[in-house]
Chains A and B, each alone.
Chain A
Amino acid sequence: MQVMTDLFARIFGDGLSPVGLLVAGGLTMALIMALVMASCAIVFTWAERKVAGFIQSRYGPMRVGRWHGVLQPVADMVKILGKEDIVPRDADKPLFLLAPFVIFIGSLMAWAAIPFAPGFIAADLDLGLFYIFAVSSAATIGILMAGWASNNKWSLYGAARGAAQAVSYEIPLALACIPVVMITGSLNMNDIVVAQQGGIWRWHFLHDPFLFVAFLLYFVASIAEVNRGPFDLPETESELVAGYHTEYTGMRFAFFFLAEYANLFLVSCVATAVFLGGWQPLFGPVFLPGLVFVIKAVLLVLLQMWLRWTLPRLRVDQLMHVCWKVMVPLALVCVLGAGIWMLATGQAG
């Protein structure tokens, strides 16, 4: 946000009070983040369909927008916004109407602490990483609300699975980040990225073997956290029809959709910032930081898509087994190992 307030200060000079600057800068950043979210939904739906097509030896969208169906997501959005907004008769109406926005807001808020470039961060919080994990778990409440309010047994199943999964996988997700926090000694996202300056060998995922494992753990847990294949248990179209958003239509369904892709990008951005050096290039001085950051995050997203379209889905008990009996212990070992590594290499201060 510093960038924005500075920008406004330069434009308006003394015309705006410090409070005014703060408000203007904050609003502009919020707008940019909302746009990022919306555009990543649009870009990623198209990318998902192209990736799926590529993997499945077909084309994917080819018509709308002449070149490889680039305008397909726009057409989809126009269509989906034009749909009737149906609320089932026996639904719990307030909760039903509210749920999509709760999910959406949960991921929107987390965007505030993502450092896209030096200084280009909506809220440079000292507890940035902690904040991200805290607010993104609000989406679980939205999932439960949606599933309960739909008054549909399949939705309820999806919600129960979704809540259990999100709550469980948050633990390895957060634990995997702890070694990084130990090394940098800070939860501030900016500090974490800055600590990885100086080429790929300084990035956290190559810091020591434990951190490499931690990175893999984070990546797997993040797929589960955003409910995507092979961990898409809450949706499982072959079992639960569509899970917690079975009953949603039109605009409200679009919000679930938006939140899914925004979350997908969000966890990739966090992985980029925490493990993959953020805006730091592979080598040499900082160069087009925002672009470097986005490229890294997008590559992670594409990797997640690749997994989704290749692997079958786990069963719900296997999912929990993987989390509690494999990933949580491994993450704890990583925390311990990273600590010992620090002691041994004399980094502990």
Chain B
Amino acid sequence: MSETATGRGWAAQDVRRELHSELLEINMGPQHPATHGVLRLLVRTDGEIVHGVTAHIGYLHRCAEKIAEGCDWRQWMVYTDRFDYLAPINMNFGYAVAVERMLGVQVPERAEHIRVICAELQRIASHLIAIGTFGLDMGAWTPLLYCFREREEILNILERLSGGRMLYNYFDIGGLRFDAYDGFERDVLAFVNIMEQKIPEYDTLLSYNKIFIERTADVGVIDLATCLAYGCTGPVLRGAGVPFDCRKDDPYSIYDRFEFDIPYGEGEQGTVGDCWDRYMVRMREMYESCRIIRQAVDALPGGPVKAEDLKKLVKVPQGSLYTRTESSKGEIGFHIFADGGSKPFRTKVRSPSFSNLHVIEKVGPGMMLSDLVATVGSLDIVLGEIDR
């Protein structure tokens, strides 16, 4: 609001003086429908144009890394669930792989296969939410409900598998807590068959909708250089046109045995690295996840699901290791410092959303308020892992 616009002393003031306007500081969040959790974006706007964005995080901070110092190695698995509460299996997977690498333990084949199946199911579930809520940010309600319909099937499978619907705590260091139930393969295959048919439905409803393309193409462009500088990973990096995926480029578990492609943004509707590209990477990744699941189910062997030579109280040898795995949001890394004891000396969680959100401060200025919402939505952040 300019001073002259308030009406005070209008006559006395030099009317010829150029009208100046101040930026409006406005809080988006912590209670706001488009911030995907308790995130507070302090936005400086001039009308509909955003001039600056500052992200204030920490509303969900529980200092899980401090808690880790008081838990033993296996116990902390429960807390990894709580990072990305939309893809807990992928968090479990990252932590399990990190600790197992330091232990040098060999995970049984059956456990590895079930892990991959679960992780890919979870990736689909997480992407479904990302796509649905992104549609919601664009004002399209219906895709969200369709996405939840399919996600429900995944949750049912994981519930029968682990007993939990949101936080599974199913992975264990050296394998799984318990074996899969009878008929697990059948359920998974049935779901994959349905899922592959449903994806074109989303494409018709949302992906190739004219208004949706207008809203997302050329919007919130994050190019490769920015991605590297700001440490963006996952669909954000792949949306910028690089087929980089830890499952292929820094392989862990048994991902090197499966055949799958890495979708990446090609600027099909606009610029490479725009919101549409990021969205479409997720959409196509669901296909690839289905492919991996099929192969893993076909190859699923029998046998134990726990590493047998592992004691109940794990002691990780002294040293430090940074291990990264590919979660649905990007690269989830655990930098673990062990002192040879039964408790982690220090575990740092490098969460993908943390870095992916940071970039909003860089790309936010200059876009419109609606585009800011679209960009935040296309980054697919989860505040649980940002704040930890």
Chain A residues packing against B (C-beta within 8 Å): 52, 55-58, 153-154, 157, 229-230, 232, 236-239, 241, 309-318
Supply 13 A–B pairs (Cβ within 8 Å), ascending by A. A56-B146, A157-B369, A229-B139, A230-B139, A309-B141, A309-B142, A311-B211, A312-B138, A314-B214, A315-B368, A315-B370, A316-B48, A316-B368
The answer on a CB contact under 8 Å between B137 and A238 is yes
CB of A58 within 8 A of CB of B214, answer no
On whether the beta carbons of B368 and A317 are closer than 8 Å, the reply is yes
Instruction: Say which residue of B26, B136, B149 sits within 8 Å of A238 (CB atoms).
Output: B136
Asked if A311 contacts B140 (CB within 8 A), the reply is yes
Q: Closest Cβ of chain B: how far from A136's Cβ, in Å?
A: 24
Q: Which 8 A-B pairs have the closest CB atoms?
A: A313-B139, A56-B145, A312-B140, A312-B138, A315-B370, A238-B34, A238-B137, A153-B26
B139 interface neighbour in A55, A153, A312, Cβ under 8 Å: A312
B88 CB-CB contact with A under 8 Å = no
Question: Please, what's the 1-or-0 string for B27-54, where 1 marks a CB less than 8 Å from any CB in chain A?
Answer: 0000011100000000000001000000
The residue of chain B having its C-beta at the shortest distance from the C-beta of A152 within the complex is: B26
Once bound together, how far apart are the Cα atoms of A310 and B214, in whole Å?
A: 16
Q: Complex Cα distance A153/B136, Å?
A: 22
Instruction: Tell yes or no: B21 within 8 A of A by CB.
Output: no
Interface size on B, residues (CB 8 A): 29
Q: What is the chain B residue whose CB lies nearest that of A239?
A: B373
Alpha-carbon distance A56/B146, docked complex (angstroms): 7
Closest residue of chain B to A160, judged by CB?
Answer: B47
Q: List A contacts of B368 (CB < 8 A).
A: 315-317
A153-B26, A239-B34, A315-B370 known; A310 vs B142 contact (CB < 8 Å): yes
Least CB separation from A317: chain B residue:
B368
| CA distance in complex: A313, B370 (Å) | 10
**B31 CB → nearest A CB, Å:** 8
User: Across the interface, do A57 and B34 meet the contact criterion of CB distance under 8 Å?
Assistant: no
> Is the pair B48, A238 in contact by a Cβ cutoff of 8 Å?
no
Name which of B24, B135, B145 has the most chain A CB atoms within 10 A of its CB.
B145
Query: A311 near B215 (CB under 8 angstroms)?
Result: no
Residues of B in contact with A (beta carbons under 8 Å apart): 24, 26, 32-34, 48, 135-142, 145-146, 149, 205-206, 209, 211-212, 214-215, 368-371, 373
Cα separation A155 to B221 with both chains bound (whole Å): 29
Residues of chain A contacted by B205 (CB below 8 angstroms): 310
**Are B145 and A57 interface neighbours, CB within 8 A?**
yes
Q: Measured between C-beta atoms, what is the minimum distance from A267 to chain B in Å? A: 20
Report B134 CB to chain A, min CB distance, Å. Answer: 10
Contacts of A237 in B (CB 8 A): 33
Beta-carbon nearest neighbor of A313 in chain B: B139
- Would you call A311 and B370 a contact (CB within 8 A)? no
Chain B residues, CB < 8 A from A57: 145-146, 149
Q: In the complex, what's the smallest C-beta–C-beta distance from A307 to chain B, in angstroms?
A: 11
Give the residue of B32, B138, B206 whose beta carbon is less than 8 angstroms from that of A313: B138
Taking the nearest CB of chain A, how far is it from the CB of B203, in angstroms?
A: 14
Q: Contact: B209 with A312, CB < 8 Å? A: yes
Bound CA span A317–B368, Å: 9
Give min CB distance, B326 to chain A, whole Å. 28
Q: How far is the CA of A35 from the CA of B209 in the complex (A)?
A: 39
Q: Please measure, in the bound complex, the distance between the C-alpha atom of A310 and the C-alpha atom of B136, giving whole angstroms.
A: 11
Whether A238 contacts B209 in the complex (CB less than 8 A), given A153-B26, A315-B215, comes out as: no
Chain B residues near A56: list those with CB within 8 A: 141-142, 145-146
Q: Of B26, B145, B211, which contacts A312 at CB under 8 A?
A: B211
User: Which of A230, A238, A315 lies at the interface centre, i.e. has the most chain B CB atoms within 10 A of its CB?
Assistant: A238
From residue B98, how far is it (CB to closest CB) to chain A in Å? Answer: 36
* Alpha-carbon gap, A232 to B370, bound state (A): 13
Q: What is the CB-to-nearest-CB distance from B132 to chain A, in angstroms, rounded to a whole number?
A: 11
Contact A58 B145, CB 8 Å, known A230-B139, A312-B211, A313-B139: yes
**B166 to nearest A CB, angstroms?**
21
On whether the beta carbons of B142 and A238 are closer than 8 Å, the reply is no
Nearest CB on A from B17, distance (A)? 24
CA A312 to CA B33, docked complex, whole Å = 16
Instruction: Name the residue on B nearest A314 (C-beta).
Output: B211
Chain A proximity of B301: nearest CB distance (Å):
38
Q: What residues of A have a CB within 8 angstroms of the CB of B211 in the complex?
A: 230, 311-314
The smallest C-beta distance from A230 to any residue of chain B, in angstroms, reads: 6
| Of listed B139, B146, B368, B373, residue having the most chain A CB within 10 A | B139
Are B33 and A317 in touch, CB under 8 angstroms? no
Cα distance A124–B67 in the bound complex, in angstroms: 76
* Distance, CA A88 to CA B48, complexed state (A): 25
Residue of A nearest to B138 (CB): A312
Contacts of B34 in A (CB 8 A): 238-239
Other A-B pairs beyond A52-B141, A58-B145, A236-B139, 11, CB < 8 Å = A55-B142, A56-B141, A230-B139, A238-B34, A238-B137, A238-B139, A239-B369, A309-B141, A315-B370, A317-B48, A318-B214
Query: Complex formed: what's the CA distance from A238 to B378 in Å?
Result: 13
Residue of A nearest to B206 (CB): A312
Question: Contact at B26–A311, with CB atoms within 8 Å?
Answer: no
Question: Which residues does chain B contribute within 8 Å of A241, judged by CB atoms?
Answer: 32-33
Give the complex CA separation of A316 and B50 in angstroms: 14
Complex Cα distance, B184 from A141, in Å, reads 61
| Alpha-carbon separation in the docked complex, A57 to B141 (Å) | 12
A310, closest chain B residue (CB) = B142
B369 and chain A: residue at smallest CB distance? A239
Give the complex CA separation of A154 and B33 in angstroms: 12
Closest beta carbon of chain A to B276's beta carbon, Å: 12
The residue on B at minimum CB distance from A52 is B141
**A316-B370 contact given A55-B142, A58-B145, A153-B26, CB 8 Å threshold:** yes
A236 → chain B closest CB, angstroms:
7
| Complex: A154 Cα to B370 Cα, angstroms | 13
